[in-house]
């Protein structure tokens, strides 16, 4: 055995090791910074590219990494000594919360229903618009998309990287049918869903016999094909310019305008754009809850159980006589249908759509919400959507940072940068997603939560 | 015929770039079974690194006739080194902690990294197109008929020759050196390779470094060919290179090159003979058709299902 080292000497050795690691990390950072940060490129007045040296930024980056890595190394050493480390949440918090999931669902639902009232009370009539529109409606759209994709990825285990295609199908079906045929939102909403589901079936049929990553790539390709067709088929979709002036939804025939037959006038209220936003908020809330309800119910039906069985083991499913193609196809087209609903809502809310809204990054963000939330968990999806979308929206609000970093500091520039970085960090922190345990739908005597380690991911 | 020959040359040039990027995808997929979504953005980053070094080097040695070639060689090596450093760090920070985790975790991490890199470059270098003055513009006329003359420009020669030479070097490394042997062993069975004394983590790191070095070559070539780079330029070439890797059979190195050349040729031919608008649609349709009817690609091994 090694001779026991005296405590100060050991501490000093630890310190040296941490310093060494920090120095190494700082050196790497310096290397990374050399070309891309140290010189900024800029067009000068003659439109010739010139380089601006920015060594002060490099120095800051290196210093931050050095200190950060040093503190992390010290913390890890303490962890190695067996001391308790500071946890952000006590162990098993999520599991305990899940034990009261019904209570939490009710509280959450109550909050969502009263959210516009809370926003108006806290921010006043003028300030509430931003909160309900940018936060409420925006987050709920992503929650709904996440829950829709959850059927495909979380329940059936089919990796779909082109989900945004069905969102686009829904949006364009509403926009084109409403503009050209004057049909109302409430007729077109189910129609957009049906059309998206039809496309899901059409695209799904040839490709669903592929497995895992191959399926992911083909769905990515289809997503891009639909977008590129929308870009290039100008007669049909208006190309890059998109479609504007899409009819807005009405309250059972009463439009939200300042006119005499408008919503405010009919109900004897003072006109405010807020009414439309609140109405849209409740529409998307109902749509999202419909998605959640259908998902929860379907999980208890034979087809839902077949999905989950398929996710766990496709070969076993086949040998038990489950028609895997049909099962996958139902999941794919149901997911697509909810994407279509969300799409037509999106078109109705914006009044303007263009292919720019349906790029691959959207698919990636929706998939990230599903995976970060913990695949198959509705709660997880909702939390992840709130954190990721709400978090990036919050970054728009950080104008006060200008006081610290100077007037030309623009926090919105860093929005997506932080978004991407947060995705990596959450994945490393919780690779199985925020809520990783699964509640079984089939059990003999009592429900037992399934630990994350026992849940196998889908193969195809 | 002349048009076809000219398009063949153009297609091979573009295809070389796709092939170089595709190797990075196929190697990483082969060794850890992960779609490295950030690879297209690493390529874009390398083009920016090359741009900056090109300006620095030409500022020192000038832009004389021979000096451009010298500058390009220096820039090529510098870009390879620094891009490799970036990809090594990315693997270390974003993918290594997720090794052995479930299948989707590294994929999401890679998508996050891709978003991060795109926006990082946008923040530090600005959102505008960055262009360098055109270089190596003169060309050799191969066939000079009355209606159409077929020519190959110096930059096309440079691109095709550099690609061929580097692929040769790379082929030698993978096939003949102990390092390549370790890589192929890890590809077949990571656990067994580890038991036989191969440092698996190190081998994977080196795979990322090699992929990045080839992506950097592609980045320099892209800069030479188009002279313009933008922070959003990583996605489309990335997806197309990935298509190329799948087309050639993912996991297979010669497959990636063949796939890259095919995608380049298809794109150029489609633009020349049909409509340029739908060239990307054509590439993706071919991908879908190939995957549906030939899921393992041209040179890939069919996947054996184990129960």
Q: What residue spans of A351-406 are helical by DSSP H?
A: 360-373, 378-385, 391-395, 401-405
Q: Rounded to a whole number, what is the distance in Å from the CA of B305 to chain A's nearest CA?
A: 9
CATH of the domain at A143: 1.10.3470
Spatial contact of B268 and B11, defined as CB atoms under 8 Å apart: yes
In a domain, A412, yes or no: no
List the single residue in B93, B113, B242 with the smallest CB-CB distance to A420.
Answer: B113
- In this complex, do B291 and A222 lie within 8 Å of one another by their Cβ atoms? no
Q: How far apart are CA A4 and CA B277, in angstroms?
A: 74
Q: How far is B98 from chain A (nearest CA, A)?
A: 6
- A-chain CB neighbours of B280 within 8 Å are 224, 228
C-alpha A134/C-alpha A128 separation (Å) is 10
Residue A351 DSSP one-character state: S
**Residue to substitute from A30, A41, A314, interface B, most B β-carbons within 10 A:** A41
Enumerate residue ranges in chain B where pLDDT < 70.
301-307
Q: Are residues A24 and A105 in the same domain?
A: no
Residue A141, domain member (yes or no) = yes
Residue B35's closest chain A neighbor by CA?
A: A213
Of chain A, the end-to-end C-alpha distance in Å amounts to 51
Q: What is the mean pLDDT of chain B?
A: 85
| Spans of chain A, pLDDT less than 50 | 1-2, 82-85, 453-460
- Chain A contact set for B107 (CB, 8 A): 159
Q: Are residues A24 and A117 in the same domain?
A: no
* Same-domain status, A268 and A364: yes
A residues 223-262 near B, CB within 8 Å? 224-225, 228-229, 232
Domain annotation covers residue A84: no
pTM, 2 dp:
0.85
- Determine the residue of chain A that is closest to B131 in CA distance: A49
Which helix (DSSP H) or strand (DSSP E) does residue A43 occupy?
strand A39-43
CA–CA distance, A145 with A337 (Å, rounded to integer): 10
Helices A324-350/A164-181 angle, 10° precision: 50
Q: Tell me B136's DSSP state.
A: S
> Would you tell me which residues 287-316 of chain A have a C-beta closer than 8 angstroms to some C-beta of chain B?
315
Gap from A360 CA to chain B (nearest CA, Å): 9
Contact B250, B13 (CB under 8 A): no
A102 in the same domain as A57: no
Mutation for B interface: A56, A205, A217, most B CBs within 10 A: A217
In a domain, A66, yes or no: yes
Q: Is A413 on the interface with B (CB under 8 A)?
A: yes
Residues A136 and A236 in one domain: yes
Phi-psi region of A80 (alpha: psi -120 to 50; beta: other; left: phi over 0): alpha
Query: A159, A419, A427: which to substitute to probe chain B, counting the most B Cβ within 10 Å?
Result: A427
DSSP A211-236: -HHHHHHHHHHHHHHHHHHHHH-HHH
Contact pairs from chain A to chain B, CB under 8 Å: 177
Tell whether A248 is covered by a domain.
yes
Nearest chain B residue to A455 by CA distance is B102
ipTM of this predicted structure? 0.85
Put simply, the answer to whether B281 touches A49 (Cβ < 8 Å) is: no
Query: Is residue A302 in some structural domain?
Result: yes
Which three-class secondary structure state does DSSP give residue A410? coil
The reply to whether A81 falls in a domain is no
Q: Can you tell me the distance from the alpha carbon of A31 to that of B254, in angstroms, rounded to the nearest whole number?
A: 32
**And the tokens for B295?**
């899921």
Contact across the interface for B280 and A224, Cβ inside 8 Å: yes
What pLDDT is attached to residue B70? 86
Distance between CA atoms of residues A423 and A369, nearest Å:
9
Same domain, residue pair A51 and A105:
no
Cβ contact A142:A385 at 8 Å: yes
Portion 334-373 of A in contact with B at CB < 8 A: 360-361, 364, 367-368, 371-372
Number of domains in chain A: 2
Its sign, for the CA torsion B26, B27, B30, B31, is negative
Give Cα B38 to chain centroid, integer Å.
12
What is the extent of the structural domain holding A56? Answer: 7-76
Residues A32 and A164 in one domain: no
* Among the partner residues B35, B113, B307, nearest to A213 by beta-carbon distance: B35
- How many angstroms from the chain centroid is the CA of residue A176? 27
Query: Do B22 and B244 form a contact (C-beta atoms < 8 A)?
Result: yes
A49 and A116 in a single domain? The answer is no
Q: Say how many Å lie between the first and final Cα of chain B, rounded.
A: 53
Rounded-to-10 torsion of CA A106, A107, A108, A114: 110
Residues A59 and A172 in one domain: no
Instruction: Name the residue of chain B whose CA is nearest to A315's CA.
Output: B307
Going by C-beta distance under 8 Å and a sequence separation of 6 or more, which residues neighbour residue A185? A174, A178, A247, A248, A249, A250, A344, A348
Burial class (CB within 10 angstroms; exposed 0-12, middle 13-18, buried 19+) of A91: exposed
Reference B293, options A214, A314, A159, A310; nearest CA is A214
DSSP letters, A235-288, are: HHH-GGG-EE-PPPP-BTTB--SSSTTSHHHHTT----THHHHHHHHHHHHHHH
Question: Which 159-218 residues of chain A touch chain B by CB within 8 A?
Answer: 159, 206-207, 210-214, 216-218
| CB–CB contact A34 B82 (8 Å) | yes
Q: Quote the minimal CA–CA distance from B49 to chain A in Å.
A: 6
B48 and A229 within 8 Å at the Cβ level: the answer is no
One domain, residues A59 and A188: no
Which residue from A28, A210, A417 is facing B295, i.e. has the nearest CB? Answer: A210
Any chain B CB within 8 A of the CB of A44? no
Residues 6+ apart with CB under 8 A from A385: A139, A142, A143, A146, A369, A373
> Helix B39-61 and helix B235-248: axis angle, to 10°?
120
Q: Which residue of chain B has the CA closest to A411? A: B123
Residues of A in contact with B277 (CB under 8 A): 232
Same domain, A212 and A283: yes
Q: Say how far apart CA A277 and CA A136 lie, in whole Å.
A: 10
Nearest CA in chain B to A410: B123
B35, A49: Cβ pair inside 8 Å?
no
Which residues neighbour A408 within 8 Å (Cβ) at sequence distance 6 or greater?
A: none
Residue of A34, A36, A325, A395 for testing the chain B interface, max B β-carbons within 10 Å: A36
Coil, strand or helix at A49: strand
Q: Which residues pair with B150 in a beta bridge?
A: B143
Query: CA B303, CA B139: separation in Å to the nearest integer?
Result: 46
Burial A107-133 (b: 16+ CB within 10 A, else e): eeeeebeebbeebbeeeeeeebbbbbb
Same domain, A61 and A116: no
pLDDT value at position A458?
39
Q: What is the pLDDT of residue B218?
A: 92
Q: Considering the domain boundaries, does residue A422 fall inside one?
A: no
Whole-number Å distance between alpha carbons of A236 and A98: 48
């Amino acid at each position: 055995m090694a001779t026991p080292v005296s405590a100060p000497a050991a501490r000093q050795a630890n310190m040296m090791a941490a310093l060494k690691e920090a120095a190494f990390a700082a050196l790497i950072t310096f290397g990374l910074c050399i070309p891309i940060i140290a010189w900024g490129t800029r067009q000068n007045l003659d439109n010739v590219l010139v380089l601006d040296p920015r060594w002060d930024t490099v120095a800051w980056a290196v210093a931050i990494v050095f200190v950060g890595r040093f503190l992390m190394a010290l913390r890890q050493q303490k962890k190695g000594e067996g001391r308790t480390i500071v946890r952000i949440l006590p162990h098993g918090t999520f599991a305990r919360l899940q034990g009261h999931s019904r209570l939490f669902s009710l509280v959450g639902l109550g909050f969502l229903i009263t959210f516009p009232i809370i926003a108006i009370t806290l921010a006043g009539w003028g300030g509430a618009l931003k909160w309900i529109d940018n936060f409420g409606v925006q987050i709920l759209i992503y929650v709904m998309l996440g829950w829709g994709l959850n059927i495909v990825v979380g329940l059936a285990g089919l990796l779909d990287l082109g989900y945004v295609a069905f969102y686009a199908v829904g949006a364009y079906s509403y926009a084109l049918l409403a503009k050209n045929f004057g049909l109302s939102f409430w007729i077109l909403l189910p129609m957009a869903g049906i059309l998206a589901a039809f496309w899901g079936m059409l695209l799904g049929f040839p490709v669903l016999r592929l497995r895992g990553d191959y399926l992911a790539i083909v769905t990515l390709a289809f997503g891009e094909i639909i977008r590129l067709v929308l870009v290039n088929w100008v007669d049909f979709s208006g190309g890059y310019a998109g479609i504007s002036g899409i009819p807005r939804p009405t309250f059972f025939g009463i439009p939200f305008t300042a006119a005499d037959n408008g919503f405010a006038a009919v109900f004897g209220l003072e006109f405010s754009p807020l009414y439309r936003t609140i109405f849209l908020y409740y529409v998307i809330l109902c749509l999202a809850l419909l998605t959640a309800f259908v998902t929860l119910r379907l999980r208890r039906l034979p087809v839902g159980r077949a999905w989950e069985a398929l996710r766990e083991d496709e070969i076993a499913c086949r040998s038990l006589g489950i028609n895997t193609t049909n099962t996958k196809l139902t999941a794919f087209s149901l997911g697509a249908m909810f994407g279509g609903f969300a799409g037509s809502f999106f078109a109705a809310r914006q009044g303007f759509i263009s292919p720019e809204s349906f790029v691959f990054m959207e698919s990636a963000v929706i998939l990230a919400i599903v995976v970060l939330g913990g695949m198959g968990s509705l709660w997880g999806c909702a939390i992840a959507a709130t954190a990721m979308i709400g978090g990036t929206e919050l970054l728009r609000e950080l104008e006060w940072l200008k006081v610290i970093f100077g007037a030309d500091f623009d926090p919105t520039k860093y929005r997506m940068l932080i978004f991407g970085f947060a995705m990596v960090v959450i994945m490393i922190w919780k690779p199985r997603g925020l809520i990783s345990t699964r509640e079984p739908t089939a059990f003999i005597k009592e429900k037992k939560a399934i630990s994350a380690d026992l849940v196998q991911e889908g193969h195809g | 015929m002349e048009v076809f020959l000219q398009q063949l040359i153009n297609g091979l040039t573009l295809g070389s770039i796709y092939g170089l990027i595709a190797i990075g995808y196929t190697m990483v997929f082969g060794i850890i079974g992960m779609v490295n979504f950030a690879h297209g953005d690493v390529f874009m980053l390398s083009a920016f690194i090359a741009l900056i070094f090109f300006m620095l080097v030409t500022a020192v040695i000038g832009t004389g006739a021979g000096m451009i070639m010298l500058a390009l060689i220096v820039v090529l090596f510098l870009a390879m080194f620094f891009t490799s450093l970036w990809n090594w760090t990315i693997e270390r920070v974003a993918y290594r902690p997720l090794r052995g985790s479930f299948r989707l975790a590294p994929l999401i991490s890679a998508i996050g990294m891709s978003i991060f890199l795109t926006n990082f470059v946008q923040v530090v270098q600005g959102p505008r197109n960055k262009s360098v003055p055109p270089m190596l513009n003169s060309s050799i006329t191969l066939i000079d008929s009355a209606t159409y003359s077929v020519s190959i420009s110096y930059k096309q020669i440079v691109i095709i020759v550099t690609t061929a030479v580097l692929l040769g070097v790379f082929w030698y490394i993978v096939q003949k050196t102990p390092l390549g042997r370790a890589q192929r062993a890890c590809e077949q069975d990571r656990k067994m390779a580890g038991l036989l004394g191969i440092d698996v983590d190190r081998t994977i790191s080196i795979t990322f470094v090699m992929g990045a070095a080839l992506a950097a070559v592609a980045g320099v070539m892209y800069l030479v060919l188009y002279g313009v780079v933008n922070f959003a330029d990583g996605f489309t070439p990335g997806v197309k290179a990935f298509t190329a890797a799948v087309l050639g059979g993912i996991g297979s190195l010669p497959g990636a090159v063949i796939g890259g050349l095919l995608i380049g040729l298809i794109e150029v031919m489609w633009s020349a003979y049909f409509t340029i608008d739908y060239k990307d649609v054509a590439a993706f349709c071919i991908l879908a058709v190939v995957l549906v009817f030939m899921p393992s690609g041209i040179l890939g091994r069919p996947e054996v299902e184990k129960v």
